[in-house]
Amino acid sequence: MKNLRAKFAHPVFPILFVTILGYGLLLPFTGFYWDDWPFAWIAKFLGPAEFIPAFMPFRPFLGPIFYATTSLIPPIPLYWQIFALIIRFLIGLSVWWTFKQLWATRPRFALTLALLLTVFPGYSQHWVALTHINQELIPFLFYILSFGFTFKALRAERPLTYIIIALLLQLCGVFPTEYFFGLEGLRLLLLFFNSDGVFIARIRGTIKIWMPYFIIWALNALWLAYYYRFGPYNSYEVNAARGFSFINILVEIGDTLWKVCFYIWGQVLFLLSANSFAPSSILTICLIALTFALLAFYIPLLKGENESRTFAMSLIATGLIGILLGRLPSLAAGLPLRLQSSYDRFMISMVFGGSLFIIGFVELLLRSPRHKAVVYSVLIALGVGQQFFNANIFRRDWEQQQNIYWQLSWRIPALKPNTVLLTHQLPIDYETDLSFTAPINWLYAAEINPPSLPYALLYTEKRISGVTLPSLAPNTDISITYRTTKFQGSTSQAVVIYMPANGCLRVLDPSRGDAEIYANLPAVLTDAIPLSNPSLIITSPDVAASPAFHSSEPQHTWCYYYTKAELAHQIGDMEKVMALESEAVNQGYAPKDFNEWLIFIEARALTGDMQTAQKLSQQILKDDPKMRRGVCSVWKRMQAKGAALNVSNGQAGSADKITEILSALNCPQ
């Protein structure tokens, strides 16, 4: 064991080990999320150079980073997830190297900090790879290395070269994004607490070393004050000094410190307790236990002599101040710090402070080196478990995304240009309507003529009465600026879609009575149904849309047959509707949402099979009495069409038969 430990004792191995366990196990099953989609779409259809003008109104110094990475990596989810894993490993390695320069006589602290920061459990956005690797983690990597070269310069005979490198890396870390504006204070604190001499001399020496970095930081502050207040930037509607009270600030500070200092380190246990016996929970618990057991191999690397309480207190103080400085940009913008949501991306600027605090807290609380090493191993294992838990959430989200894209392609093979898809929301967590606009265009527009954007998807729940969607009145103009492109449409050129949490995607059709069938749904959806125009769907295109560019076609289960049947129903091919139903039922498939039976009832009635249609209606009402409105709506519509129906091989009496069925089903006349 000693020989084996000696062979793998270099810190690169434990850092690589926790990186793979935390972020790599579910990597092949994750994809694109949130802003990944518009960025991937830009790279694919407009080219990497388009990121320069695309970011000019928002974060102009981010454009070159996106340009560089998207020039090297194609917009394929797996490639970006692998790249994210590599960047994550490099961050851990850079933290270890950086603090080895500062704590030359305390190597275990550098390794401990690197391991804790690598799997820091408060930040869950790693898998939104194309967005956050470029937007946060690459600038963060630059900033870490800037610290490292600053510390290296302290002990160099000719420090000027290292100082210049540190300043250049600081520029690359602080200007692309405002996230790390407060991080510069950590450099000052670390320089002060790790200097020697009397108090006044330490202050003078620290300020002298820090002054070049302060100048760049001050220039960045002036840039932010100008660009984000007076320039075209309007992403977050920064509202510093507006709407804040002293009490609110204290509450936010207390909430931040509680979450970052303590709660996040055990967060995974609270999350798992909500569903302890789910397979994913059991897997996560097993991974935590396995990680801790494997970390026992490296526990001697985390052991060391007891440090003074003064050193522990300096870590705690640096950590607390670092956390507050990291919270400053998002707090100034009035943005919340919500865990397990897209808002926990703001944690990236607090990972240093949080990790330094917990090390200082453990060092102050415990005296036994072995006990400390065990506690660190527990914290690292919990961090790995938290990141695996997060990865599984994103895995499920990617799986649901693929369901949506494939069902869209089955139901809508092609779409006339300048069509807007309207829905109140889709059953998914990490994508907004504007996120979906990119893959919708990817699906239906093989070529783009910028700046024209041919398609858009809007959530009426979020956009109604706003600038994008002023109202649901016919002929209302819809205008969406999408980075450097623009969608111009109208509410009179819309298709309304709906996908319940436990059901299939469907196109809502006012001529099919959907306004009545779905009357119990939110008004922001039902009020849009009269606008839906299924004739905008191209039912038999030369080349049908397919999301095969990002995933292979899934097994054909109920939703495949339902979406294809609804498409056949739209073109009036009732024989095909019934054939698809028979094939699905013969394979043992059935809907979870009974509304999906309604088109099959109607198809049988329209082809004269009244008996089967009636039996199916009765069975649905027996299984779910709440379906009476939908079932009765179908039969009332059939009653209105009664004279045109061919019943019993052309015999008369359709209207009387339908009236009889309506009475048998207890439908109001």
In whole angstroms, give the CA distance from residue 516 to residue 520. Answer: 8
Q: 489-526 b/e with 16+ CB inside 10 Å = b?
A: bbbebbbbbbbbeebbbbbbbbebbbbbbbeeeeebbb
pLDDT at 72: 97
Listing DSSP states for 363-409 in one string gives HHH---HHHHHHHHHHHHHHHHHHHHHHHHHHHHHHHHHHHHHHHHH
HSE, CB side, 13 Å, CA atoms: give it for residue 121: 26
The pTM of this model reads 0.91
Tokens of 559: 């939703």
Percent of the chain at pLDDT > 90 equals 71
C-alpha dihedral sign at 194, 195, 198, 199: negative
Secondary structure (3-state) at 495: strand
- Pairing between β-strand 537-538 and β-strand 485-490 as defined by DSSP bridges: unpaired
pLDDT at 644: 52
Q: What is the 3-state secondary structure (H, E, C) of 98-128?
A: HHHHHCCCCHHHHHHHHHHHHCCCCCCCCCC
Secondary structure (3-state) at 545: coil
Would you put residue 34 in left (φ > 0), alpha (ψ -120 to 50) or beta?
A: left
Burial of 294 (0-12, 13-18, 19+ CB in 10 A): middle
The segments of the chain whose pLDDT lies below 70 read 1-9, 228-244, 301-306, 642-654
| Contact yes or no for 538/414 (Cβ under 8 A) | yes
pLDDT tens-digit map of 493-517: 999 999 999 999 999 999 998 999 9
Q: Which of 4, 18, 5 is nearest to 380 (CA)?
A: 18
Secondary structure (3-state) at 138: helix
Q: What domains can you pick out in the chain, each with its CATH number?
A: 12-395 (no CATH), 412-554 (no CATH), 557-669 (1.25.40)
C-alpha dihedral sign at 515, 521, 523, 529: negative
pLDDT at 5: 58
In whole angstroms, give the CA distance from residue 84 to residue 592. Answer: 37
Q: Which of 369, 382, 387 is nearest to 299 (CA)?
A: 369
In whole angstroms, give the CA distance from residue 134 to residue 73. Answer: 12
**Torsions phi, psi of 616, nearest 5?**
-65, -40
- Cis peptide, bond prior to residue 48, ω within 30 of zero: no
Please give the distance of CA 460 from its chain centroid, rounded to a whole number: 21
- Pairing between β-strand 485-490 and β-strand 477-482 as defined by DSSP bridges: antiparallel
Would you mind telling me the total number of residues written for the chain in this entry?
669
How large is the C-alpha radius of gyration of the chain? 30
pLDDT at 305: 63
